[in-house]
Structure 1
Amino acid sequence: MRRECRRDPATNVVVAAALFFVACAALLVEEACGGEEPVTELSNGFTATHSADAPGRFEPFLYATNGVFALGFFRVGASSLDLAVVHLPSSFPLWRATPLRLADWSRPATLSFDGRLVLATGPGAGTVLWSTLNPIGDSVKLLNSSELVIRLFDERGTPWRSFHSPSDTLVLDQNFTLSTPPLISENRRFALRLGKTYMALHMEFYGGRTRPMYWQHTALMAQPENGTEPPVYGRLDGRGFFGLYLQGGSGNESVDRIAFDTFPRNLTGAFRRMTLDDDGNLRAYYWTDGSKDWTSDYQAISEQCELPTSCGAYGLCVPGQAACQCLVNSTTVGTTSPPCAAVETTDLCGAGQKFDVVRRSRVSLAYKERVPFETYETVAECEESCAEDCTCWGALYNGASGYCYLIGFPVETVVYEADDRKVGYFKVRKARQSAARARTMSSGATAATVVLSLVLAVAGAYVGYWLWERRRRRRAGGVGMEQELTPRPYRDLKSMDSSNNSFKS
C-alpha cells in the first residue's frame, strides 16, 4: 500500500521562504570571500601561498563558521610576514604564530598542513619559520571562539590548540596557566607571566635573559605560605572581569577577581580581549555589534609615569606634567619617548666596556619595591657598590632611609620626586659614542685621502705630460728650457699656422 504525503500550502510557503533566506545568506558570504565559498576546514595536503602584491595587510584562507574570525598571512610592520587569527570586524590579530625569524613579505612563503601546520619561506621545502611540532592531526578548524585547533579523525581528540600558545592576547574563556607561555608584546619588550599565586609584568632585556618586574597582582585568597596548595590560573570572563582560580578546582569559585569598568553594568554579549600593549601596559577591551573600534575597559597601570618606558631610555617622567626630560642633559622633549639615548641590547661586562657617569637629584623608580636594594649610610657607598659591579647600570639612593636600589638592567624611565634626599647615579656607555666618533673621523679621513689622491694623480699626470713634451721637443730641435721660456713675436705664431690652427692671418 502506497501512502502519499501531501503538504499543507502554508507549510510550502514557509519552506520556500526559509530556502530563499538561506540562499541569500550564502550569496552574501560568497561575496565577502571574493565570490568563493569560504573554507572552514583544512585537510591533509593543504597548501596556501601568500601573494607579495596583495593590496591588504591580511590574506585569509580559513574562516570560522560565524564569519567573525579568519586565519591567514598577516603583515607585520613594513615588510615582515606572520601567520595570524584576525578579528575581521576590527582587523585586530588575536593570535599570531610569532616565529623567531619573521618572513619577508616580498619573498615567497607558504603554509602547509600534512598532519601539522608548517610556515616556510623560500623555494621548494624552503626554510621552516614556525610549525606545530610534534602533534599530528587530520584536519584544522577555526572555532567560533577564535581558537585554532588541529583535530583527529572523527573529532576523537584535539592534539594542538592555539589557546595553549598565546602571543600577546587572551580572549574569552581562554585559560592562562603556570605552564602556558607568557604573553609577549608585539615589540617583544614586555611579558605577562603567571606565578604560583600571582600574575606579573616584566621588562625583557637581552632576549629575555634579564626580566625585571614592574607590576604584580597577587590573588587575594591564595595562600603562598601553603606549599601544598595548587597554583592559580587566570581566565577572562564575559561578565567583565579577569578571574584567578585554583588549578584542579571546579573552576566556578575564584580566589580573586580583577573587575573591569563594565563589571557593575553587567554588560553581556560583548566579545572581550586582554592584550599586553607595546607600552608595557596590560589592558582589557570589548567589542559589541555595531562597534567601530575597541572600547578600553581596564588597564593595569593607570599613571603614565608608572609605565617603565614612558619617556624612553635615560628619560625622566614628571608626574602631572605633559613633558619628559632627558637624564643626561635635562632637555625637555615632550610627551612621547624622547631620543635621549638608544635602547641598549648588551650589558656592561664585556672587555673594554667604559662608561660615563650621570648624577641627578630628585629621582626615583615607580616600581622600586620590585628592585633589589641594600642599606648604606652615605650616597658615596651606594654609588661605589654599583660602580664596582659591571651588571649594575645605576643606583638610586634615599638619604632618609639609607636604601640603595640597584638597577641591574639598562636604564629606562625614572620618575621625578620633589625630595633632595633622593639621588641617582647612572652609567652611560662610552663605546657607542666613541664608535660614532670613530666612524665620523674615519669618514673624514677617508674623504681627505680620496681628495689628496686625486690631486696627486692630476699633478702626476701633468708632470708626466710636461716631461714627455719636453723630451719630444728636444728630439725635434734641441730646444732648451731657456729657449722654450723666451717670448716669441706674433709673426712666429703665424708661421706655425696650419689648416687645423685656429689662428688666421
Structure 2
Amino acid sequence: MAVLKLSSICFSFLSCFYMARRINSVSERWATQLLLAAIIVLYAPSVTCSEAAATQELLKGFKATVDPSVSSFQALLRDSTGNLSLGFLKTDGAYVALAVLHLPSSEPIWVADYPTRLARWSGRTQLIFNGSLVISDPHEKVIWSTGTQGDRVLLLNTSNLQIQKLDSDDASSVLWQSFDFPTDTLVENQNFTAKMTLYSSNGQYSMRLGNNFLGLYANFKQGSEQIYWKHRAMEARAKIVDGKGPIYLRINPDGYLGMYQTENQPVDVQPLTSFQRTINGLLRIRLEPDGNLKGYYWDGSKWVLNYQAISDQCELPSACGSYGLCRAGSGCSCLDNRTDHRSGKCLPTEIGDLCGGGVAKNNFRVLRRKGVELPYKELMRYETTLSLEECESSCENNCSCWGALYNNASGFCYPVDYPIQTLVGIGDEAKVGYFKVRKGADREKTKVGFGVGIGVVGGALMILVWIVGFGSYRIWKRRKALKRFLEEEGGVSPGPYKDLGSASFRSLEMCNR
C-alpha cells in the first residue's frame, strides 16, 4: 500500500511539473505550484504512518534509544494484529523495562528480567539487535542480553517474542523466546515447566511446579520460603508415570488449566469459568501482588475474571498485612488491640531475626491472642507438645522463631520462623497464638503516632487561627462600612435620611426591630 501511494505521489509530481513547464500564464503556474504543495501535505503523512504500522520485525543493525518525552510506553515492534507491542515501558517513574504490552488494556504481558540492576529512563539507554537483543547504556554497558546469534526478531500474536535464525532455504528456527522466561503472567498455549518460576510484580510471591503438584510460595524471610497454596494433580484422565519426565502446566484454549506429562492427556484439569465456551480474546493467568493466582480473558473492552485459586480473602497469605487479623465477613483488624488497622498497618513489617547481637529475651515483647490460626496451617510443619507453655518455650529462646500457634485439643505446636503476617480469627479459643514483637517496632509505631498527633494538633491550631482572623476581618469590615455610612449621612452626601433624628429614620429603625 505504501509503495502504491508513493508511486501515485511521484506520478502527481511529474505530471504537475510537466504541466507547469508548458503553461505560460503566471497565475496558472502559481495554481500548479499550489497543487503540488497540497499533494505533499495530503500524501506524505499517510506514507509515514503506514511504514510505522508495518514494522513487524527487527533486523540486525536495529537500534532505538529511550525518548524521555514519552510518558509511559514507547512502542518499537508490533504483532500482526496490532494488539500487542514490544517497547520501552516506564516503571517507578525513573526506570525502563523492555516489555510486551497488550495495547487495548495497557497491561504488560511479559517483562525482561534484569539480573543485576535496572535501566534508567533516559536518552542514553538503548535497545540494539546485533543477533542478540541487548539493553545497554554508556555507563553500565550491557544491562540485559539474550546471548544469541539470530537474524530477526518477531512478535507473534500469541504475545511470544522470538529471535529466529534464517536458513538457506528460507526456513527459520527459534533460538530464543519470551515464553521460556515468563514473569508474572502465562497466556494460552504457553508451556510452564518445572524449570520455570512465576513471580508476582512485587517479588513477594512465586509459583512453581513440583513432581505432582502446583504450589504458591511466600518469600516472607530472605533465604526461606513458605508454601501457602498447593494443588495436587488429580490424575483422573491420566496417571503420572515415574521416569517419564516432569509435568508441565498450560492454559488450554477450551477453558481449563491443565497439567500434562505427555501431549495426549492431562493429568489434571482445573476448569475456568469459560470452560468449553468460545472465547475470541486472549486467555491468561497472573500471579497477583496479594499472592492470589487469577485467570482472565479479554472480551474486547476489559479483562474478565475467569479463575482464582484462593476465593476467600482471609485465606490469602497476608490479607491484612503484618500482625493483622482477618475475620470472615468482618474484614481486617490488628492482633494488638491497642492498634487500629484503619491507620494503615498494625505493626511495621520486620526482616531478619530477633537476636541482632543481643540477648533474644531482651529484644522483644510478647503478644498473645486466643481464637487465631494460620490461614495455611495444613501446609505448615508442626511439633507435638504437652502444653502451651512447652510450645511457647520452644520458640522463646530461638532467634529465628517469631511466634508459635498451639492447639489445646490436638497438642500441635506450629512454629513461625518468619515475621508475623495475617492470622485468621476463629471462634475456637482453644487455639492460642504467641507472637514476638521487636521493641524497635513499638518505638517506630510510637514515633508515627506522635507525628500524627502533632499533625492533628497543628492542623487544629491553623483552623483556629483562620477562624479568629476571619471573624476579626468581618468585624473590621462592618465597622468600616458603618463609619462610612455615618459620615455620608452626616452631610457628605445628599438624601432624604441625612437627618438622623427625623421621623422617617426612627420609623425605619422601628421596622427593623
Tell me whether the two structures share a fold, i.e. TM-score over 0.5: yes
Work out whether 1:93 is the aligned partner of 2:105: no
Distance 1:147 1:125 in 2: 31
The Cα of 1:437 is off from its aligned counterpart by 8.2
Distance 1:393 1:45, change over 3 A: same
Match of 2:153 in 1: 140
Match of 1:252 in 2: 264
Work out whether 1:149 is the aligned partner of 2:162: yes
Q: Write the mapping of 1:189-268 to structure 2, written as runs, cut at 5 A.
A: 189-207=204-222, 209-221=223-235, 227-246=242-261, 249=262, 251-264=263-276, 266-268=277-279
Distance 1:319 1:276, change over 3 A: same
Distance 1:131 1:146, change over 3 A: same
Q: Deviations over 1:442-488 (max 9, x none)?
A: xxxxxxxxxxxxxxxxxxxxxxxxxxxxxxxxxxxxxxxxxxxxxxx
Match of 1:285 in 2: 296
**Paired AA for residue 257 in structure 1:** V
Distance 1:276 1:440, change over 3 A: closer
Distance 1:372 1:60, change over 3 A: same
Work out whether 1:64 is the aligned partner of 2:64: no
Distance 2:444 2:318 in 1: 26
| Aligned with residue 329 of structure 1, among 333, 337, 343 | 337
Distance 2:346 2:123 in 1: 36
The Cα of 1:156 is off from its aligned counterpart by 3.6
Distance 1:224 1:430 in 2: 53
Match of 1:110 in 2: 126
| Aligned with residue 354 of structure 2, among 343, 348, 354 | 348
The Cα of 1:439 is off from its aligned counterpart by 12
**Paired AA for residue 183 in structure 2:** S
Distance 1:424 1:32 in 2: 67
TM-score normalized by the length of structure 2: 0.73
- Could you say what secondary structure the match of 2:173 adopts? coil
**Paired AA for residue 278 in structure 1:** P
Work out whether 1:317 is the aligned partner of 2:326: yes
Percent identity reads: 41
**Paired AA for residue 144 in structure 2:** W
- Could you say what secondary structure the match of 1:186 adopts? coil
Distance 1:46 1:318, change over 3 A: same
Work out whether 1:45 is the aligned partner of 2:61: yes
CA contact (8 A) 2:68 2:121 kept: yes
The Cα of 1:227 is off from its aligned counterpart by 4.2
Match of 2:99 in 1: 84
TM-score normalized by the length of structure 1: 0.74
Root-mean-square deviation (CA, aligned residues, Å) is 2.9
Match of 1:390 in 2: 399
- Could you say what secondary structure the match of 2:341 adopts? strand
Q: How many residues align?
A: 403
Work out whether 1:376 is the aligned partner of 2:393: no
CA contact (8 A) 1:52 1:108 kept: no
The Cα of 1:316 is off from its aligned counterpart by 0.4
- Could you say what secondary structure the match of 1:345 adopts? coil
Distance 1:92 1:274 in 2: 13
Work out whether 1:364 is the aligned partner of 2:373: yes
Q: Write the mapping of 1:175-186 to structure 2, written as runs, cut at 5 A.
A: 175-180=191-196, 182-186=197-201
**Paired AA for residue 267 in structure 2:** V
The Cα of 1:32 is off from its aligned counterpart by 11
- Could you say what secondary structure the match of 1:424 adopts? strand
**Paired AA for residue 282 in structure 1:** L
Q: Deviations over 1:108-154 (max 9, x none)?
A: 32111112112123xx363433221x332121111111100111123
Q: Is the helix fraction higher in 1 or 2? A: 2
The Cα of 1:79 is off from its aligned counterpart by 2.8
Distance 1:342 1:144, change over 3 A: same
The Cα of 1:224 is off from its aligned counterpart by 9.6
Distance 1:374 1:360 in 2: 20
Distance 1:73 1:380, change over 3 A: same
CA contact (8 A) 2:386 2:411 kept: yes
The Cα of 1:432 is off from its aligned counterpart by 4.6
The Cα of 1:242 is off from its aligned counterpart by 0.6
The Cα of 1:366 is off from its aligned counterpart by 1.1
Q: Deviations over 1:367-408 (max 9, x none)?
A: 001111001111110011111221111100010100001111
Q: Deviations over 1:200-254 (max 9, x none)?
A: 10001345x21100001011118999643532111011111111101xx2x1311
CA contact (8 A) 1:233 1:244 kept: yes
| Aligned with residue 310 of structure 2, among 301, 325, 329 | 301
The Cα of 1:436 is off from its aligned counterpart by 8.5
Match of 2:286 in 1: 275
Match of 1:487 in 2: none
**Paired AA for residue 232 in structure 2:** T
| Aligned with residue 161 of structure 1, among 166, 172, 177 | 177
Unaligned runs of 5+ in 2: 9-42, 451-513
Match of 1:496 in 2: none
